[in-house]
Amino acid sequence: MDLSFLGVTSSLWGGFQTTLLLFALTLMFSLPLGLAVAFGSMSRFAPLRYLTKTFIWIIRGTPLMLQVLIIFYVPGLMWRMQLPRFDAALIAFVINYTCYFSEIFRGGIESISRSQYEAGQVLGMHKSQIFFRVVLLQVIKRITAPMSNEVITLVKDTALARIIMVVEVIRVAEDFMANMVIWPLFYTGVFFLAFIGLLTLMFAYIEKRLDYFRA
């Protein structure tokens, strides 16, 4: 194991690529699923609404670490079907963040005045046209701040994947600690701070671009 600065940096970067992949795939799947689940929780069909709300309550009320362990171990113990470690972590993360994003979407959608829908109907627009052309952009404006907090939390939560031995950046640092070298563990913070700094700038830019919507 190369314990030089460049060697440690290269190894940590390899682990951080797994972190970035888990982050990106979780966002890619959980954002659209979150919107779909939000519609389910607002459905006028009571059984679907109650089922959706119960599912959200269970997922939000239990630790993400527990969900990762269940997704990884239960299929193998019950059906002799062992999921790949990364896939198990991804499924758990997508389910978890879908529920959190759904509540953010629901809050944003319900905050829009009914007059917006009525104005669209007066103009002869269908419900789908009203939502995607009138409501959605205003919802995005209102949920940008809470959504940015969840996205930043997701970056840090990716470290939980190491509980099932997914080789992300902190798991790599722990391998160095086995050789009695501790500074790489602190060095992982640089990778997280740099990436979260970029995300913070990106969300600040998005908020500025959406300033023409005045709530």
Q: What is the pLDDT along the chain (215 residues), one digit of tens a residue?
A: 678 889 999 999 999 999 999 999 999 999 999 999 999 999 989 999 999 999 999 999 999 999 999 999 998 788 888 899 999 999 999 999 999 999 999 998 888 777 767 777 777 777 777 777 777 778 888 899 899 999 999 999 999 999 999 999 999 999 988 888 899 999 999 999 999 999 999 999 988 887 765 54
Amino acid identity, position 24:
A
Q: Which residue segments constitute the domains of the chain, with CATH numbers given?
A: 5-212 (1.10.3720.10)
Q: What is the rounded CA–CA span in Å between residue 130 and residue 120?
A: 6
Q: What is the rounded CA–CA span in Å between residue 167 and residue 27?
A: 20
CB 49 within 8 A of CB 102: no
- Alpha-carbon distance values, 67 to 40, 93, 94 (Å): 22, 8, 11
Which of 150, 120, 127, 186 minimizes the C-alpha distance to 27? 150
